[in-house]
Amino acid sequence: MDPVLKKPFGPPVNMRRAYGEALVALGQSRPDLVVLSADVSNSDHSFMFEARFPDRFINVGIAEQALVDVAVGFAKCGRVPIANTFAFLFATRALEQVRTHLAYGRANVKLAGAYAGLSDSFDGPTHQSINDLAVMRSLPNLTVVVPADPVALDALLPQMCDMDGPVFFRLCRNEVPVVFGEGYRPTLGRAVQLRDGRDLTLIACGVMVAPALEAAESLASQGVQARVVEMHTLKPLDTDMVARCAEETGAIVTVEEHSIIGGLGGAVAEALAAARPAPLERVGIRDQFTESGPYADLLRKYGLAAPDIVQAAQTALRRKENLQRQR
Amino acid sequence: MPKPSGRQAQEGGRPSRSLHRNPTTSMARQKTSQRGLDPLNYSRFWRPIRPDPTRLFDCLPFHDTYAELLRNTETLAYLIRSYTVYSMTCAALGHPGGSFSEAETLAVMYNYVLRHNPREPKWPMRDVFYLSKCHACPGLYAALALFGYFPLRDLKYYGCWGSHLESHPDWLRTPGIEISGGSLGQIPGVGVGRALALRRNGPNHNDRMVYVLVGDGECQEGSVWEAFMAAGHFRLNNLMFLIDNNKVQAKGFVSEDMNIEPLADKLEAFRLDVHEVQNGHDVSELVDVFTVLRQMRRDRPLAVILNTIKGKKVRECEYNPNWHTSAPRNVESAARWLDELWEQDGRRLGIPREFPKALARAIEIVPPLHDNPDQIAEKQA
């Protein structure tokens, strides 16, 4: 059987280029696919689709509300539109259109949120997107997906287009290591266990999957067996997997390139509270705005690197042990 | 435009004939027992002028049919207003001002302009009609019910729990509703997308049209102008914006709250082909304008500014911002409104005097009761 993980990680791949290629591949197999952009096709590399399928590409200009509305019009005609702009703009400027037509009206539109998390690192807090998952997750009927690397994107994008219903997915702007191998076969809505362990579980999404795996290695060298789960679908959340990990490992750490409020950490906290409470540590941006800077430096500064995950894991373990002593 | 004449029809060698019997006069002939009058059985008052509304054909070469078209459409507008009063009073909820200002427009659209099929609401070759000023849906619900998209009796449950007629339209629940909405400014852009997608659907879809009825106050929303800009940019000649220029919004008058004039100049500058209807309550002018526009070659999206009056035909509501949101206070005032409508239109159109009385009697205020908007305002104050 092909391995799920690539060991060691493959050389970094530009996620934007991977997205452009994935769009072109999908455009070949799906004649009903339409790509719309609010003038960001050079940024998110959807220009690759434009070059290949010019009559299925629409630039609506710098007008995010029109972007979502026009995509809804295409969905009404039976097309499968993917609307493209920066992740934060879907969650802010165009949110009302997303709510009314996609969430409430269930228009079959896919939203590609580019430059997610801190990945638009040099454009600063106005462009960085740290609460998009919280916003999107709060909307009924909307599916929320965070592909971790190009392999995940290739596997998940066709599924998002096959399902009949609105989807928001977020994409990193920068180079990311290839985490997954040939054996990675994700299904929307189902978490993927990447590494087994019995002491605690690291649940990660997006570009934080790689540092979570590194943290698990580092914990292993300290004698701690960490299970690692990739939660590519934040909504609907695989609550069974969360409950099982709580049951079997007794402590959980969530890892996301997002605020600790309302994203993966929030979703897992809700699931634990409802199903099986267990100590939970959330690695993410601690309810603050970030700043301009080199991407890797920003991730380190705001507590999103492997050592931060290790530290959070140790805290979670201590809480688990305290709990066991009290019993 | 030249009025078509009966002579033309004769010269064409085609017999001058009615498309169907005038339902109002035939009903009058039946000497219906007034006590047995069921005002929720619309087919006894009115039927569509086009027996098959999926076929677009020109009624105009038949002079007497043109007259009948006008009379029939005016009757429809009268019934839209009357059933709007009925449904709003049953629900103790509604937006009469905007529903009355659009009544003739809806009547002309559904009776003459749109190709649609009430038996198959999602008929793939239909024209698309979007009501962007969604709060004015009581008028649209009445029009759809009169065309048989759903039973007229359902109007009683407008805005009620368990009803398919939401207080603002829900396209997933109501047959004939093309899109959900409520907050303003979000639908013109969908019209742009739909028209753009239709144009790319191939030659079979070339003459399908997308119509979006936009409020004048709604034009204060920035997203409306994103849509206008995109429509002009893409030269969507299969898209028409209808602006219900009724001059009144929730708080006051559009010109005082936030003036949108000169609207025609602005639309022109956005590369729309702008036409104005002098009297948006004159069915004959509306029919003529839409006939001309349909026949015209064009390479731009159309914008038709309809000069209307908010609350038209109920004196209490006309030009009165207080009746933007408010159902008639009680059955008695609804009965007064229905009488007023009959005096102006029903009488001359041959609707029996008993009709508005029977409709008022049919009103049942459906619990749970919504608070009277005035009382809500007092509570909030």
Whichever domain contains B134, its CATH number is: 3.40.50.970
Give the mean pLDDT per block of 10 residues along chain B (381 residues): 38 37 42 63 72 56 71 95 96 94 97 90 94 97 95 93 92 97 96 96 87 98 98 97 96 94 98 98 96 86 98 94 88 97 96 94 80 48 38
Range of the structural domain that residue B294 is part of: 6-380
Arithmetic mean of pLDDT, A122-142: 97
> What mean pLDDT is reported for chain A?
97
Tell me, yes or no, if A101 comes closer than 8 A to chain B by beta carbon.
yes
Is B191 within 8 Å of A97 when comparing Cβ atoms? no
Tokens 């408010």 — which residue?
B326
Nearest-Cα distance to chain B for A111, in Å, is: 15
Which positions in chain B have a beta carbon within 8 angstroms of at least one beta carbon in chain A? 128, 170-172, 178-183, 185-198, 200-201, 222-223, 226-227, 229-230, 233
CB atoms A66 and B186 under 8 Å: no
C-alpha distance from A58 to closest chain B C-alpha (Å): 9
* Inter-chain residue contact B196 with A74, CB threshold 8 Å: yes
- Nearest by CB to B226, from A58, A63, A96: name it: A63
Are B179 and A74 within 8 A, CB to CB?
no
3-state DSSP assignment of residue A260: coil
pLDDT band at A265; cut points 50, 70, 90: very high
Q: Which domains does chain A have, with CATH numbers?
A: 5-178 (3.40.50.970), 189-326 (3.40.50.920)
In a domain, B89, yes or no: yes
Q: How confident is residue A301, by pLDDT bands cut at 50, 70 and 90? A: very high
What whole-number distance in Å separates Cα of residue B178 and Cα of residue B122? Answer: 9
Q: Does A1 touch chain B (CB under 8 A)?
A: no
Taking the CA of residue A287 and the nearest CA in chain B, the distance in Å comes to 31
From first CA to last CA, the distance across chain A in angstroms is 42
CA distance to partner chain B, nearest, from residue A205 (Å): 33
Closest residue in chain A to residue B191, using alpha carbons only: A73
| CA distance, residue B64 to nearest chain A CA (Å) | 39
| Contact (CB<8Å) B180/A60 | no
**Is any Cβ of chain B less than 8 angstroms from the Cβ of A31?**
no
Q: How close does chain A come to B227, measured CA to CA in Å? A: 6
d(CA A18, CA A150): 6
* Closest A-chain CA to B232: A60
Alpha carbon distance A180, A129 (integer Å): 25
The CA distances from residue B239 to A83, A267, B195, B298, in Å, are: 22, 43, 6, 11
**A64 flagged as catalytic:** yes
Question: In the numeric block, which tokens belong to residue A282?
Answer: 């959330």
3-state secondary structure of A254: strand
> Is residue A40 less than 8 Å (CB to CB) from chain B?
no
pLDDT tens digits for range B153-170: 999 999 988 899 999 999
Is residue B1 assigned to a domain? no
Question: Which of B210, B214, B223 to probe by mutation at the A interface, max A CB count within 10 Å?
Answer: B223
Q: Please check the confidence at residue A206 and state whether its pLDDT lies above 80.
A: yes
Residues of B in contact with A70 (CB under 8 A): 189-190, 192-193, 196, 230
Q: How would residue A43 be classed by pLDDT, with cut points 50, 70 and 90? A: very high
Q: How far is B170 from chain A (nearest CA, A)?
A: 7
- Residue B361 falls inside a structural domain: yes
The CB-side HSE value for B83 (13 A sphere, CA atoms) comes to 32
Q: Which of B141, B183, B176 is nearest to B159 (CA)?
A: B141
Q: Which chain A residues have a beta carbon less than 8 Å from that of B172?
A: 105-106
Q: Say what the pLDDT of residue B366 is.
A: 83
The helix (H) or strand (E) run that includes residue B133 is: none
Contact criterion met (CB < 8 Å) for A76 and B190: yes
Determine if the peptide bond prior to A31 is cis (ω within 30°): no
Catalytic: which of A21, A50, A64, A256?
A: A64
Query: Which residue in A36, A77, A95 has the most chain B C-beta atoms within 10 A of its own C-beta, making it the best mutation to test that interface?
Result: A77
Nearest chain A residue to B181, by CA: A100
Higher pLDDT, B298 or A201: A201
Q: What is the pLDDT of residue B326?
A: 84
From chain A, the residues in CB contact with B186 under 8 A are 65, 69, 96-97, 100-101
> Which one of B179, B195, B230 has the shortest CB-CB distance to A66?
B230
Write down the pLDDT at residue A52: 98
Cβ–Cβ below 8 Å for A74 and B192: no
Q: What's the gap in Å between the CA of B150 and the closest CA on chain A?
A: 20
Question: Any CB–CB contact under 8 A between A69 and chain B?
Answer: yes
Give the number of beta-carbon pairs within 8 Å between A and B.
Answer: 94
The predicted complex's ipTM stands at 0.93
Judged by a CB distance cut-off of 8 A, whether residue A165 touches chain B is no
Tell me which chain A residue has its CA closest to the CA of residue B173.
A105
Which of A34, A60, A96, A98 best probes binding to B when mutated, by most B CB atoms within 10 angstroms? Answer: A60
- Residues 6+ away with beta carbon under 8 Å from A253: A200, A201, A202, A203, A280, A281, A282, A283, A309, A312, A313, A316
Q: Does A35 touch chain B (CB under 8 A)?
A: no
Which residue in B379, B362, B371 sits closest to B40, CA to CA?
Answer: B362
Residue type, B134: C
CA A87 and chain centroid, separation: 11
- Inter-chain touch B193–A101, beta carbons under 8 Å: no
- C-alpha distances in Å from residue B41, one per residue of B120, B152, B163, B239: 21, 7, 20, 35
- pLDDT for B381: 38
Per residue, the 3-state secondary structure of B293-361, as one string, reads HHHCCCCCCEEEEEECCCCCCCCCCCCCHHHCCCCCCCHHHHHHHHHHHHHHHHCCCCCCCHHHHHHHH
In a 3-state reduction of DSSP, which class is residue A194?
A: strand
Asked if the C-beta of A60 comes within 8 angstroms of chain B's C-beta atoms, the answer is: yes
Query: How many domains are contained in chain B?
Result: 1
Using an 8 Å CB-CB cutoff, list chain B residues near A58: 196
Mean pLDDT of the region A82-109: 98
CA distance A317 to A249: 10
Give the tens place of pLDDT for each residue, B118-167.
989 999 999 999 999 999 999 999 999 999 999 999 999 999 888 999 99
Query: Is B191 close to A68, i.e. CB distance below 8 A?
Result: no
For B66, list phi and psi in degrees, rounded to 5: -60, -45
Question: What's the pLDDT score for residue B36?
Answer: 63
B226 contacts in chain A (CB < 8 Å) = 60, 63, 65-66, 69
Kind plus residue range of the DSSP H or E element containing A301: helix A295-301
User: Nearest residue on chain A to B233, judged by CA atoms?
Assistant: A60
